[in-house]
Amino acid sequence: MIDIESVDEARNLKADDYYRHLIRRNQGLVSSEAQDRIGAALVLVAGCGSVGGAAIQPLARIGFRDFRLADSGNYELNNLNRQAAFIDDLGRNKAEAGADAIRRINPHSGVAVYSEGVTVENARDLVRGVDVIVDGVDVTTRSGLTAKMALHEAALEARKPLITGWDLAGVMCAQYFDYRHVRRIFDGAIETAELPTLAIWEAVFRIAPMRHMPGLMLLELAANITDPDYSVPQLPEAAWQFGSLACHMAVRAVSGRKVPRNVPVDVHRLTSTLPERLWQSAVLPLGYLRLLRTLGLPRILDSLIPAHSVLRITTPGRAA
């Protein structure tokens, strides 16, 4: 196959010829059958910020070419520490910017943009007909949590596989909910009807992979979680890991291969020295103790025990 080295040459290629050149270096690592499924799949990326946004370009580069992108947010300067955006993108809708990135990789891609983001009203339409969902919906606001719950409810109803991710200091934990088989959203850890009665952090603790949260993050949360204006810190080394993980997990999902439920990668620990790793292990229980002291045992247990569990604890002022 002749190499294509100029913009004009690439733009003059027909769609099929362009695609063959684009995926050429996948050969030998991605089977032809898997590549055919990738090329035919429709992917929904719901939330195109730090987590969802990290997945967009890898998905396009591996050969996905039919997308739905949903995000109601616009880029702010504080996003640039971890999101795939530049100063000239400030004020732009994140889904629109993601669509431009896809078209700059493969101008023959089909991209539908939903700048209203995920809502209770449109979640069913967003997931209808898709082959895999990448969930990057933000959970730091009440509206974000409501949207995330609606997305998972729609995925469950439509029996669609869903990949989501949590960036926790230096940890990225990608999760796979195959709602073709799973019968409760988030494995029953939370129910939509509970959401109005839970504080944001209580709902997040219920659905986030808390066992993978590093001690440094626990200490940070313990010191700030009761501040209503607090913004959880996020780093590029964790957020961008989701791009790699979600890309490979999506390939496995559309290829009919099994995908692990939880895939944690602790970048900080992997690159630490032995003394640093020992310190990280030692600080973990301290983080839980400080969080416990800040929030109190009843609220911690109430936030961690699944909604359907017989162990559900009734806290003062809240019905069980």
Q: What is the CATH number of the domain that holds 112?
A: 3.40.50.720
Instruction: Judge whether 216 lies within some domain.
Output: no
CA 70/CA 72 separation, integer angstroms: 7
pLDDT of residue 198: 86
Structural domains in the chain (count) = 1
The model's pLDDT over 81-115, given as tens digits with 9 standing for 90+, comes to 999 999 999 999 999 999 999 999 999 999 999 99
Domain hosting 159: range is: 31-210+230-271
Question: Averaged over 33-45, what is the pLDDT?
Answer: 98
Predicted confidence band at 319 (pLDDT cuts at 50, 70, 90)?
Answer: very low
CA 250/CA 256 separation, integer angstroms: 10
CA 177/CA 303 separation, integer angstroms: 21
pLDDT over 90 percentage in the chain: 79
Instruction: Judge whether 251 lies within some domain.
Output: yes
The model's pLDDT over 162-186, given as tens digits with 9 standing for 90+, comes to 999 999 999 999 999 999 999 999 9
The model's pLDDT over 47-88, given as tens digits with 9 standing for 90+, comes to 999 999 999 999 999 999 999 999 999 999 999 999 999 999
Instruction: Judge whether 276 lies within some domain.
Output: no
> Which residues share a beta bridge with 120?
none
> Comparing 110 with 310, which gets the higher pLDDT?
110
CA 26/CA 217 separation, integer angstroms: 37
pLDDT of residue 303: 61
pTM of the model: 0.92
Instruction: Judge whether 155 lies within some domain.
Output: yes
- Strand segments, DSSP code E, in 118-189 are 132-135, 161-168, 171-178
CA 85/CA 14 separation, integer angstroms: 29
Instruction: Judge whether 67 lies within some domain.
Output: yes
Instruction: Judge whether 315 lies within some domain.
Output: no
Res 22 pLDDT > 50: yes
Instruction: Judge whether 148 lies within some domain.
Output: yes
Instruction: Judge whether 240 lies within some domain.
Output: yes
The model's pLDDT over 126-140, given as tens digits with 9 standing for 90+, comes to 999 999 999 999 998
Q: Beta strands 43-46 and 66-70: pairing type?
A: parallel
CA atoms within a 13 Å half-sphere pointing along the CA-CB vector of 149: 21
Predicted confidence band at 307 (pLDDT cuts at 50, 70, 90)?
Answer: low
